[in-house]
Amino acid sequence: MSDKSPSMLNAYLQLHFIVFIWGFTAILGKLIEIPPVEMVFYRTLIASAGLYLLLKWKKIPFEVPKKQLLTILGTGVLIAIHWILFFLAARISNVSVCLSGIATVSLWTSFIDPIVNKRKLKFYEPIVAIISVIGIVVVFQSTLDEALGFTIAIVSAILAAIFTVINGKLVAKQNHYTITFYEMVGACATIILFFPIYSYWFTEDGLALSLTTHDFLYLLLLGLVCTVYTYSIAVKLMQRLTAFVINLTVNLEPVYGITVAVFLFGSEEQMDGNFYWGTMIIVLSVVMYPFLRKYFEGKNIQQDIVR
């Protein structure tokens, strides 16, 4: 075994561990009683404060070139919208629907990455997309709430694909903790700026910022463990793994999350046959991609590792 193998194995183990934690975030979103927008506000506020203290403790510099800072803050805007839609999908439908929609993230990455990195789209990528669309159509034969929740989750997945690809470029230039800090600041500022519009047009009684003890504890878990730890490590892993490899592993998030959700919520997570058939087709399309890539280009998944 080469000297690099243990660290690469450690990178994969870390990746699977944080994906398991991400699978648990939808469950926390279901358990926390405040609305999704307020939830994301507290999540990003707690994460920003936690990362600030972490940067101070580790004596990591805050300085970032202005152009990169604007890009990082803008990425935070995408993260804020992604999280709001993610938790909204879980509320409108359920955890299973939400996580199944998020499973499409690697598919969208396969299209977005060529655009951002200015490479040609492979001819087999649209084939994979068509299969995925067939799965989406089958899912849409479920109830209206399930279809709406699934649609919102897919939009959330597209945003996740965008900011993951962007982070893959940023991590080569900045410390991963610094990147995550400013992204959380950008996400939190986005929510604060959105509050007046949200409070006036989208709520009946204004902002719901009061917290129960359970909500506060769940939010600490969401902000510190599911955000500060996981997103910082995910950004760091991009020094070794590409955005596609990371997002392909994220497809296991529904497996981890739905398993725990069924255990916690029972019959509430039971879906009709169309949902499961459609989800299987979508997962098939996602799994097909690396095999098609290897067949037509002779490339193994391991060649997506950044050395």
Whole-structure pTM value: 0.78
- Crossing angle for the helix pair 4-31 and 66-92, to the nearest 10 degrees: 50
Report DSSP state, residue 240: T
Length of the chain (residues): 307
pLDDT by residue, tens only, the chain of 307 residues = 444 444 777 887 888 888 888 888 888 988 899 999 999 999 999 999 999 999 999 899 999 999 899 999 999 999 999 999 999 998 888 777 787 788 778 778 778 888 887 777 777 767 776 777 677 667 656 555 677 888 899 999 999 999 988 988 888 788 888 999 999 999 999 999 999 999 989 888 899 999 999 999 999 999 999 989 887 888 788 777 766 667 666 666 766 776 677 677 766 656 667 767 877 776 777 677 667 767 777 654 444 433 2
The residue assigned the tokens 């899912």 is 139
- Nearest-5° Cα angle at 141, 140 to 144: 70
Report DSSP state, residue 205: S
d(CA 88, CA 35): 8
Per-residue pLDDT reduced to its tens digit, 170-180: 887 888 889 99
